[in-house]
Structures are given as structure tokens and as C-alpha cells.
Structure 1
């Protein structure tokens, strides 16, 4: 097995996508594949020391890991091992490299699946495992109240505000990740006397990331995001720890289904609140 850094190339991004799709829940729709490729190349540029690919001697990709450092907050964006390589140490070796990249970071965050092997590995690395929930289903707008204040379209002009809210909620700004998120998701923001916050919404109804200075603002943003999808559109909100009851309330009002969703694994921090993490950008 050969382990090397991931390069910012189409071929390496395709290798990462191939491993992830085989190990997780592929094949994927085109939109998700495009976002996955863009995320890989973005992290290969910003965090080359945290992104690794393992492949067989014949060049077949076997395992991959993507991780990032943002102002003292380390995040694991992806850890995937192809089925034929599972249980042979590839995942453990790559996780060790990603954790080494985060050495010195005060905080760490992982959106983990329910896979018991992953849970054991993250707990052994010192992460607290917080059970998570997800909301999904077709939106029933009849159950949603109108937002209690202004929500506007966000963009590069709100970067400073969004980074400030990130620091408040997770201890480190997303920084360059916002540039990448703005390329692939609609962004809604609040910034008034009541508080500040933002939410990213995918065309497929995924709530990719939400952060706010208060539950009131978070509720306003999530409600606006649901309404922006339109009646009957599919929505998905994942990574909700028990602290995010405000999000559960909005989702249940929209008649979404509530189910278990693995763990949010944290080190050096309590569950951010109000906050909906991004599995890709955390």
C-alpha cells in the first residue's frame, strides 16, 4: 500500500470520489458528485498536509482522508476505505496522519456515521461522542410561521460577519471554506439588532451549514430556508445534537421525519449551539 498527499487535480479528486462512493452510499447524483470533487480539490489546496490517499501497487485507490485546520479548530471532512481494504489498517493509518495534521489545535469536530468501527477509532483519539439526529422529508409549509424578521441573500460582502459568527460558535472561522460554499449553495443571512447568522441551502434541499448568534436567529434562518425550497420539496438537516431542539421544532413543524444520524464527535469543545454542522466543512 502506498500513501501519498492528495493533489489538486481532477484525477486525484476522482480517486477520492471513487473510494468514498464505494465505501459510503454511492453511486451519487451528478450534483453531489460535483460538490464532492470541488470539496476535495479545495481542501487539497488549503490543507495539503491533512489530505491523503492510499492506493495499491497497481494504482487502485483504497482509502482516503480529508481534514482541515481553521484558526485552531481541526475538522475531519472525510475518512473512507474501499470495501476490499477494510479491516486491514488503511483507515487507521490515514486517520493517524490526519490527526497529526491537527496536532496543536485546541478543538476538533467530526460528523461521524453510526459505524461502530469509526466510533471506536474516534473515541480512542479522545473525542466525545454526542448522539445526533437528522430531519428529512417533504416540506409542508402550512405548518411554518413566517420568519420573525428580515432574511436576505448572502454573498462575499457578508464574509466578515459569517467568520465572526463561526468564531463565536465553533472557535474558528471557516475562512476560505465560505468562498467554496458560496459557489455551490444558496446563502441566506440575518444581520440586524436581534443578532446575526447564516445558512447554506443546496438545490437538493440539504441544509449544508447554519450558524447564528441566538436560537431566535437560527430559527428564523432555518424557517426561511425551508420556505425557500417551496411546498413539497425534499429537505434534509443532519448532525443535530440534543442542543439543537430549536431545529427539531422547525423540522417537525414542517412535517419532516426525525431519525438517528450517527454522532457528532468533539474534542476540546462542547456541542456548538445554535449550529448545524456541515459534514464536508464542519
Structure 2
């Protein structure tokens, strides 16, 4: 019988891990797609390259949190599962996790999660979870609280955009106060993740000492990560992102403590829906905060 080995990830595993990730999440999204949702599309070549680049970064920063499940077949290894987690100071987060549909229900996911959680070494934890019943059961059994998330999608009614003042382009010398803000909101700073995001995303900040905040915005004008000391600052930052949005945009990872984001989205004429969970252990749900799907 073929055996499955769970072992630390190596850099030369990354292309195989990306392929397993693409198949796993494509099938998961298809199975949970609602009638009103757009058709699920396979991951593009560019998105695959970006995925590998992000995971290579995680592997270089904290390799102890990166694991693969490999099926040994006549000497050749096939990646059938993966768990990529990271420690940042006193916080642990799960960047991505999955098992090929053809190998689910065999205990592989539990072995991968056990390895990733052992790396956490008791730290508080956070990650964004899908609605997959097997995965959510495993997360709850591991002691995580599952907080439903919402998302807002649509085309911004540009007549609703307010004049926003007091924001500036972010720079690397902002990282120190940004990490202090992160610590207040989510236990620990993003540390080296800020440098990676600054290289790949636009950073907009409010340097108001009483009400600081920041948002990373992708090429489509979507807020990839937003943190603020006050809901008013958070709303200004989100409006800035929406002003840069393409015809159809997305605001995701909205939890109940972050209803300020719902108010902005409704004012911009976006539609609200549900999407998965924010899972936390030994920490509150961050607010005012919109988590990054990749760096939490």
C-alpha cells in the first residue's frame, strides 16, 4: 500500500504544492459556489507564480511552520497535502492549508494540522477559514473560535465617494509604528511581512498620532490588509481603496466587530454576502481591522 509521509517543506516542493493548492481550492470553491456567485475559474499562470513567490517568502522566514504530505509511489513523491503556517513574535497564523480531494478523509489533514500547531508552541492563533465541513470541524476541535465573515462585492457608485483628507503614501519608515498598531490589534506585528507587501502592493497611511492606520491596496484597488486605531480612520482608508477600484471590487474578511466596513460598503452601493470564518484562539477578533487572506 502506498504510504503518505508528512515532512517539512523544501523549496523544490513549491511547484508541486502550488498545483495541489490550485486543484484543492478550485474544487472546494466549485462545491460551495452559490447560484448568484460568478463562475469559478482556475488559477491563472500569473496567480500561480505569485502564490509560489509568497510561499517561498514564508518558507524563507519561518520554515518550521511549513509542511507537506507526500505520497510515496515507486520512489516518486506526489504532494497530496500542505500546511503553511508562520510565527510572528507571540502570534501564530495559518497562511494556507489543504488536502487533495482524492485524499481527504484519510487523516492526512489532521497530521498536517498537528505539525503546524506544534510549531505554534502555544501562541495565540488566527487564520481565515473556508466553510469546508471537515476543515471547520478540525479547527474547532483544535480550540479555535469560528467567527463568520462577510464580504461586499459590486461596482462602486462613484457619486458616493467622499473627499478624503489626511492620508499619505506609505514608506518603509512607517513600519515601526505600524507594528505597534498591529500589536495592539492582533497580539504581534507583521514584521517582515510589511516589507514583502510594500514590494507588491500600494501602501496608504494615516500618520495621525492619535488615530493612526494603514491599508495595503492591490492593483485592482482592493484593500488587501487594513488596520486602524479608530473606526473613523479605518473608514477613510477603505474609501481610499474603493476610490481606486476597478469596475467590480471586493471587500472581504469583514467580521461583526468591523461593521464600520459594512457601512462603507453599503454607502458605496456594494452587495453584502457571507464567506467562511475568521478563526481565532486565545485572542479577540481584531478591530478596526480587515485581515489579509495571506498574512492575516
Q: Residue 120 of structure 2: which of 83, 102, 107 is its match?
A: 102
Q: Residue 124 of structure 1: which of 127, 141, 144 is its match?
A: 141
Alignment partners' CA distance in 2, 1:227 and 1:71? 34
Alignment partners' CA distance in 1, 2:151 and 2:46? 21
Instruction: Tell which structure's C-alpha radius of gyration is larger.
Output: 2
Residue 21 of structure 1 is matched in structure 2 by 22
CA deviation profile, 1:200-247 (whole Å, cap 9, x unmatched): 111134321110111011011000111122xx5322121111111111
Structure 1 stretches of 5 or more lacking a match?
Answer: none
Matching of residues 232-271 of structure 1 within 5 Å: 233-271=247-285
Going from structure 1 to structure 2, the CA distance change for 1:212 and 1:188 (only over 3 Å counts) comes to same
* Alpha-carbon offset, residue 273 of structure 1: 0.5
CA contact (8 A) 1:131 1:261 kept: yes
Q: Residue 3 of structure 1: which of 2, 6, 11 is its match?
A: 6
* Alpha-carbon offset, residue 139 of structure 1: 2.0
CA contact (8 A) 1:144 1:250 kept: no
CA contact (8 A) 1:207 1:235 kept: no
Residue 53 of structure 1 is matched in structure 2 by 68
* Alpha-carbon offset, residue 135 of structure 1: 1.2
Residue 32 of structure 1 is matched in structure 2 by 47
Asked whether 1:146 is paired with 2:163, we answer yes
Asked whether 1:197 is paired with 2:228, we answer no
* Alpha-carbon offset, residue 153 of structure 1: 1.3
SS at match of 2:143: coil
Going from structure 1 to structure 2, the CA distance change for 1:31 and 1:152 (only over 3 Å counts) comes to farther
Alignment partners' CA distance in 1, 2:252 and 2:152? 6
Asked whether 1:76 is paired with 2:94, we answer yes
Alignment partners' CA distance in 2, 1:79 and 1:193? 38
Residue 185 of structure 2 is matched in structure 1 by 169
* Alpha-carbon offset, residue 33 of structure 1: 2.2
SS at match of 2:256: coil
CA contact (8 A) 1:69 1:102 kept: yes
Alignment partners' CA distance in 1, 2:241 and 2:230? 17
Task: Return the TM-score normalized by structure 1.
Answer: 0.93
Going from structure 1 to structure 2, the CA distance change for 1:205 and 1:12 (only over 3 Å counts) comes to farther
SS at match of 1:59: strand
* Alpha-carbon offset, residue 196 of structure 1: 0.8
Q: Residue 210 of structure 1: which of 202, 213, 226 is its match?
A: 226
Deviates more, 1:163-172 or 1:135-144: 135-144
Structure 2 stretches of 5 or more lacking a match?
Answer: 27-40
Asked whether 1:281 is paired with 2:282, we answer no
Residue 286 of structure 2 is matched in structure 1 by 272
Deviates more, 1:12-21 or 1:61-70: 12-21
**Superposition misfits of 4+ residues, deviation over 4 angstroms:** none
* Alpha-carbon offset, residue 266 of structure 1: 0.7
How many residue pairs match? The answer is 276
